[in-house]
Structure 1
């Protein structure tokens, strides 16, 4: 290897700096030492946590010690047959209305997205109308529907009728409640489903069409599974609202959970507060179960979108216990 001209290379050590002794040697480098990493102090978080804990403790103490709530009467009414019968009616109405409302919402969403101007106009008008009218008005209108139409018929418009139905016999209290809630729920479900379909990338629609699949298979096998990632959490919110909305069927003479509580409260005026607490706790239980189901359904449909699915509460507990055991072993060993 040749050196560039005019450059002298020497392997001798560099001379000491001016003013230093001739036999002075440079100091040896210090060995690296471990330094403790101090966590960031978040005083505001600790203060907010302490305030919240104090408020929660005061609320819990007031609920337990205040005799106004009459917890002994609450325990008496909680599983009484009249309450459980009303709870069963609430579950039936909510289940039927959720299924029919979702089916109606899918049909309305597809009509809104179709190429037919008539279907788009009818779907938009239906959604606009039932989102504008309060649910209690819809229920009361259906409850008094027999005053407007005593019989219903199927046949040629402005011509002869082939089938006649007695509306007063068909419109039982259960039917009125389910139909009213389903009609109202379909209007909101249609917007949830339509938003989920629109959230699917346009390239997925084009790829499905390029495969030559029929329209129904394109929707059921490609578009709908991806749309459910957006539909499920939003529709579960609607379902929770539907469960609470079943309390309005009391006004059409159907004794659901809230209707049973109201009826017992009128018979036993001194137990109105514990009866209201009974209804509150049962509604909280129902909505909590629906929220738990929502978590697992979302987790199932997120497999194609996330690298790792979120852990279940049981898995989180196992991870936390494993970390605690490892920490204890480390501290014991040291």
Structure 2
């Protein structure tokens, strides 16, 4: 073959290969993948690093972690006794705080950290902080009343006893017979203040009422049926030390109009009440356990659970009222001492008679 023709042919072949290769690259070019940025760094607020004498039901709080891409951020909290905690205690929190409801060990050093996660797989961890819980002897039970026997209540301060006179101990239970509600005399709402049987507590404190709620007159452990109209309740109230003040907070169990077998929360400030409830059939037995914690800032947190009739051997599983532990509206600004105790009340005459009942109530100094 002619040498010149051979060289020309080779050049044509090489040019064809180059053009084909470039065309192939152009056809397969894709847009660059946008890189995800994880949430920004953030700090832990409470509990502070190295804190001691911390309550065994602590409250944790941390800063918001922002996401540079605008992604949704949720939080995992790790809590344990190892210095770099790997025990996932609670996952996918949408808020920057968490209340522990299962009691930690006394006199134990714990470590905690929080991981902020976006919905694209990005993660940012906080530092790990340590704290030590208070010793058990600092959580002294000051009073436990199991209402043993039959007779009047013992060592309670009573406000407005005359509006609900038939209150006492019956066969080892608190028993309040509500068979007369003339002029709504038993009501706790706005300016009205029914009967309260209470003990004076100093912040910080804890009060636990066991198996508290409403029953029929012949059997306090059988809940009254719901007819769609009655407001019948029994529960626990926190009241300002001055009974002339119309400032209180309460959490009660019963029927709330069309919302049967519910748990009601109410704040009353200067005689104006704000009220909500935990939902229909939240308390299908008509009774629950109630727990109220007053902290060192004179603020209240409310918990409940289905009745734990074997609390001496079975761990409690407390639930924050409406997921926050806070009652509706503005909480009264309480002084260092408040009255905490039992109330039974009605609005109107539907569902009457009925009884308020409670197996035991525990008053703890924290």
Common fold, TM-score beyond 0.5?
A: no
Higher RCO (CA < 8 A, seq sep 6+): 1
- Name whichever structure is richer in strand by fraction: 2
TM-score (norm 2): 0.20
TM-score under structure 1 length normalisation: 0.21
> Which has the higher Rg, Structure 1 or Structure 2?
1
Structure with greater proportional helix content: 1
